[in-house]
Structure 1
Amino acid sequence: MKKFLLYIFKIFIVTLLVAVLLDGLYTYVFMQSKNRGKVEAVVNSKEQKYDVVILGSSRANNHFVSQMFVDKGLKTFNYGMSGGHLFEASLMLKLMLERKYEIKNVILEADLNLSNDQESEGVAAKFLPYIHSSEVIKEHFSPEANFKELYYIPFYRYIKFDSKIGFREVYKIAQNEKTNALDNLGFYPLEKHKNGNMKNNIVNLNPLPHNKYYEEIKDICKKNNINFIAVMTPMCENVVGMNYFDKVKKAYPEIHNYENVVIENKYFSSCGHMNDKGARLFTAKIIHDFFPKK
């Protein structure tokens, strides 16, 4: 019995050592990554100065044409992340400030994601390789139910989120394979697709009366003298339940409602995402309204 227990103990120790070694190796690789995504681009960067930083989900990523701001003399980057929630947008802003970024204006796409204050696991996972090297990331994840496992069990986060930060991603970083996430100053243009979903029903969607991460972003901007611009972005003309945006305006009167600035289906790739032409019309309106003298 003693030999068996000793054998089990040895296996446990070897497994633990391997996990620690793999955790260190994976983390080291991620700490060298700068050209595969927006998270690592910020985490592994030095201080930057921006006139405009854009945050939000794919409805930010696909709707704000960064180059149009630059053409007006405004240094801009679109940090919108497809699939992201306000949980990740808030963390991204915190990371920038941790890296000593100087930001004059934050434009936040705040509409559909006001209906939840949960993390988007697939996007949030991209921050986890840096949970031991960034106090901001550690604190942001600390209220989450699985924080202790993610933080204290070596290699656990890489196994749990293997599809996002596992071996395949580590290999591609090691091979210095780029993605298009950082192209076009973070803006991802969409085309008009014949099979795009041009119907949407948001009747049952309701904004939270107090979205924790929206309020967090707003408070961070106030404390750091950053001009905070929150906007609702357009949806196509076939949406059912457009009074959702009225609900948002009632709960958050400071959010600017631009949902009806572009409505024709020809300007959309899908009902919730404008194509490149629509994005340019929308961006021109935003620049005209908020940066008219630049």
Structure 2
Amino acid sequence: MKKFGLHLLITLFILFLASLLLDVAYTKVLSTSSSRNKVEHVMHSKNKNYDVVIMGTSRANNHFVTELFEKKGLKAFNYGMSGSHFFETDLMLKKMLDNQFKIKTLLLEADLSVCNENRDEGTTARFMPYMHGDATITEHIKSQEDYFQLYYLPFYRYIKFDNKIGLREVLKVLKNEPTNVLHNKGYYPLLTTKSGKMKNDISTLKPIRNRYLEDVKKLCAQNNIQLILVMTPMCENTKGLDYFEKVNQLYPEIHNFENVVHDDNYFSSCGHLNDAGARMYTQFIIKELKL
């Protein structure tokens, strides 16, 4: 029995040591990468000056054409991230401010994300390699139920988020494999239009007083950033479009531009404009908001 106990302790020690070494190795590789996604781009950027910073989900990433802002003489970048929620947007803004970004106007897409305070696993994963060395990230993650495991268990975060920061991503970083995430100053154009009649159902969504959106508002006020909140278009054949009116009742300061573009020919999918639709919408935004 004693021999079994000794073998068990040795095995556990070896596993712990292996986990610790793998954690250090993965962190070293992934935290040095600076251009494969927008999170690491911000983490490795200092003293940026922008007239307009765009943030939000894919409905920001695909809907705001950075080039059109720049043609108006505005230095801009689209930091919208597909799948993200306000949980990650709030943390991203905190890191921009930590890194001395000077932002005159934050244009934030605030519609479908208003209904939840959950984290997006894929986007949150991008912050994990920096967790132990960054107090802002650590403090932000403390609200999560699995904070203890993420912070204190070696290599747990890389197993948990293997799909985004696992071995495949480590190898891509080591090979210096490029991505197109930062092309077009962060704007990602959707060039196709879905055939047939588009439809969607958002009738189950219920807007809430979102604590992470509230924190973004507070950060902007504290740092003299003009915050412009907007809703972006959805195809006409969507069940539950009154959701946008409910958001407006809760947050009257959010501009409801959901119906600015409504022809299906300008949509790639029911919730995302194609490039032509995005250009039409961006031109409207620039003119309407007098940017």
Q: Size of the alignment, in residue pairs?
A: 291
Which whole-Å CA distance do the structure 2 matches of 1:193 and 1:228 have between them?
Answer: 32
Specify the alignment match of 1:131 in structure 2. Answer: 131
Which whole-Å CA distance do the structure 1 matches of 2:156 and 2:222 have between them?
Answer: 35
Which whole-Å CA distance do the structure 1 matches of 2:253 and 2:277 have between them?
Answer: 24
1:50 aligns with 2:54: no
Instruction: Give secondary structure in 2 for the equivalent of 1:104.
Output: strand
1:279 aligns with 2:278: yes
Distance 1:197 1:159, change over 3 A: farther
Which whole-Å CA distance do the structure 1 matches of 2:71 and 2:199 have between them?
Answer: 34
Specify the alignment match of 1:191 in structure 2. Answer: 191
TM alignment of 1:241-260, pairs within 5 A: 241-260=240-259
Give the gaps of 5 or more residues in structure 2: none
**How far is the alpha carbon of 1:80 from its aligned partner?**
0.5
Give the gaps of 5 or more residues in structure 1: none
Are the counterparts in 1 of residues 194 and 269 from structure 2 also a CA contact under 8 Å? no
Which whole-Å CA distance do the structure 1 matches of 2:88 and 2:194 have between them?
Answer: 32
Letter in 1 for 2:118: Q
Specify the alignment match of 2:79 in structure 1. Answer: 79
Instruction: Give secondary structure in 2 for the equivalent of 1:132.
Output: helix
The TM-score with structure 2 as length reference comes to: 0.97
Deviations 1:127-168 (A, max 9, x none): 111111211111111010000000000100001111110000
Specify the alignment match of 1:200 in structure 2. Answer: 200
Which whole-Å CA distance do the structure 2 matches of 1:197 and 1:133 have between them?
Answer: 49
TM alignment of 1:78-97, pairs within 5 A: 78-97=78-97
Distance 1:122 1:150, change over 3 A: same
Specify the alignment match of 1:67 in structure 2. Answer: 67
TM alignment of 1:1-294, pairs within 5 A: 1-195=1-195, 198-208=198-208, 210-292=209-291
**How far is the alpha carbon of 1:194 from its aligned partner?**
3.5
Letter in 1 for 2:229: A
Which whole-Å CA distance do the structure 1 matches of 2:31 and 2:204 have between them?
Answer: 42
Which whole-Å CA distance do the structure 2 matches of 1:194 and 1:146 have between them?
Answer: 39
Instruction: Give secondary structure in 2 for the equivalent of 1:287.
Output: helix
Distance 1:154 1:196, change over 3 A: farther
- RMSD over aligned Cα, in angstroms? 1.2
Deviations 1:175-207 (A, max 9, x none): 101111111111000023344771011222111
Are the counterparts in 2 of residues 192 and 267 from structure 1 also a CA contact under 8 Å? no
- Percent sequence identity over matched residues? 54
Letter in 1 for 2:2: K
> Once structures 1 and 2 are overlaid, which stretch shifts more, 121-130 or 270-279?
121-130
Letter in 2 for 1:218: K
> Once structures 1 and 2 are overlaid, which stretch shifts more, 2-11 or 176-185?
2-11
Which whole-Å CA distance do the structure 2 matches of 1:71 and 1:132 have between them?
Answer: 41
The TM-score with structure 1 as length reference comes to: 0.96
Instruction: Give secondary structure in 2 for the equivalent of 1:220.
Output: helix
